[in-house]
């Protein structure tokens, strides 16, 4: 324990973390293999833009003029694994720069410019050749297995391939298999039919939501027609020529329902402002909508909702014609509603003075 600084002439022995180093060697060689596979699939215009090698996963950025398709990624992955099965020797040698460039051309410099009159060349059969000073395995069969986890566009003209090698690659596949198995159990469908089952569920969900929206609209039309008929749940009054409709939706704070009801109410009279609110016991919500004529008289729904939501311990805001907010201090909902009405009156009075 502790540390001792060596003196001049001391012999120092270094110890490598071999497991980590070997993983990095495999990931580095895999970078060359995937790069070579990408050129075969996409074309010779592909160039290595950047890399990062890790123990469990690595990434390779390549130049390409469009997004990679899943089919192209699979082709690159398949070719890379074929290189493993062919047991291709990974050869390293030092040679004069001029000779190397004459033999292999400037594709040597996939990883960037290399200084010196002599360069170290890493050659994987006819698969890939680069000037490289990194550590590598002796044969592609040492890689075992390559799995490209995903691809993404990192900037214009650059695609990123994220991949794992060996046991980490196997673990990646096994984790995805666990997810598929869980989905299979949840949806009560065999794995090979999960896509069709999911499509059916999404289709049925869309149909259900469409039916829900239709019912909500029908309810909203009926509710808007009863403005003023529910004194225990709402208040209707006139302020400076603007009709204010305030309604307590109690625990039924479904946003779609509140919005549709407000829309239908304002359709009947453009000089209307609705302040709808309610709480389910955990969250309090307040929603404000203003008709065109009300906005011309100075009403700003965004300001009303924002200030009212602060009292509820949350946030809110929106446009002059529509805004909403909420918070978790549900017991202060009456105070927030009162604040909303006061701001509305102030807005109308200010414009009236102007």
The residue ranges of every structural domain in the chain are 18-187, 222-353
pLDDT score recorded for residue 352:
67
Domain 18-187 fold: 3.30.980
pLDDT score recorded for residue 124:
96
| Entry pTM | 0.66
CATH of domain 222-353: 3.10.310.40
pLDDT score recorded for residue 228:
53
pLDDT score recorded for residue 254:
82
What are the structure tokens assigned to 93, written together?
């040698």
pLDDT score recorded for residue 227:
63
- Give every CB contact of residue 80 below 8 A, 6+ residues apart in sequence: 30, 33, 34, 37, 146, 148
pLDDT score recorded for residue 253:
79
pLDDT score recorded for residue 43:
94
Of 77, 74, 125, 129, which is closest to residue 99 (Cα–Cα)? 129
What are the structure tokens assigned to 156, written together?
């214009």
Residues of the chain short of pLDDT 50, as ranges, are 231-232
Distance CA(57)–CA(52), nearest Å, equals 9
- Give every CB contact of residue 280 below 8 A, 6+ residues apart in sequence: 251, 253
């Amino acid at each position: 324990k502790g540390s001792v600084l060596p003196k001049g002439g001391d012999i120092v022995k270094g110890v490598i973390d071999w497991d980590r180093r070997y993983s990095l060697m495999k990931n580095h060689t895999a970078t060359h293999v995937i790069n070579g596979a990408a050129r075969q699939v996409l074309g010779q215009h592909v160039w290595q833009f950047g890399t990062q090698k890790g123990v469990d996963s690595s990434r390779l950025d390549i130049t390409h003029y469009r997004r990679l398709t899943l089919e192209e990624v699979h082709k690159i992955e398949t070719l890379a694994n074929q290189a493993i099965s062919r047991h291709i020797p990974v050869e390293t040698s030092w040679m004069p720069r001029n000779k190397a460039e004459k033999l292999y051309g400037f594709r040597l410099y996939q990883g960037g410019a290399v200084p010196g009159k002599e360069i170290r060349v890493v050659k994987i059969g006819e698969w890939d050749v680069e000037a490289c000073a990194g550590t590598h395995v002796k044969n592609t069969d040492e890689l075992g297995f390559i799995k490209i986890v995903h691809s993404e566009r990192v900037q214009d003209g650059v695609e990123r391939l994220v991949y794992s090698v060996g046991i980490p690659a196997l673990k990646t596949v096994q984790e995805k298999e666990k997810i598929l198995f869980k989905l299979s159990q949840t949806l009560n469908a065999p794995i090979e039919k999960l896509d069709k089952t999911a499509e059916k569920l999404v289709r049925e969900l869309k149909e259900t939501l469409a039916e829900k929206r239709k019912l909500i609209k029908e309810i909203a039309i009926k509710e808007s027609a009863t403005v003023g008929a529910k004194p225990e749940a709402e208040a209707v009054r006139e302020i400076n020529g603007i009709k204010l409709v305030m309604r307590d939706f109690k625990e039924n704070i479904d946003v779609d329902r509140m919005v549709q009801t407000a829309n239908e109410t304002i359709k009947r009279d453009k000089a209307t402002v609705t302040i709808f609110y309610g709480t389910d016991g955990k969250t309090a919500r307040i929603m404000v909508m203003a008709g065109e004529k009300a906005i011309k008289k100075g009403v700003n729904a965004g300001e009303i909702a924002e200030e009212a939501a602060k009292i509820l311990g949350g946030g809110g805001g929106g446009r002059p014609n529509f805004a909403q907010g909420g918070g978790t201090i549900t017991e202060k909902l009456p105070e927030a509603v009162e604040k909303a009405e006061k701001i509305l009156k102030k807005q109308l009075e200010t414009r009236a003075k102007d």
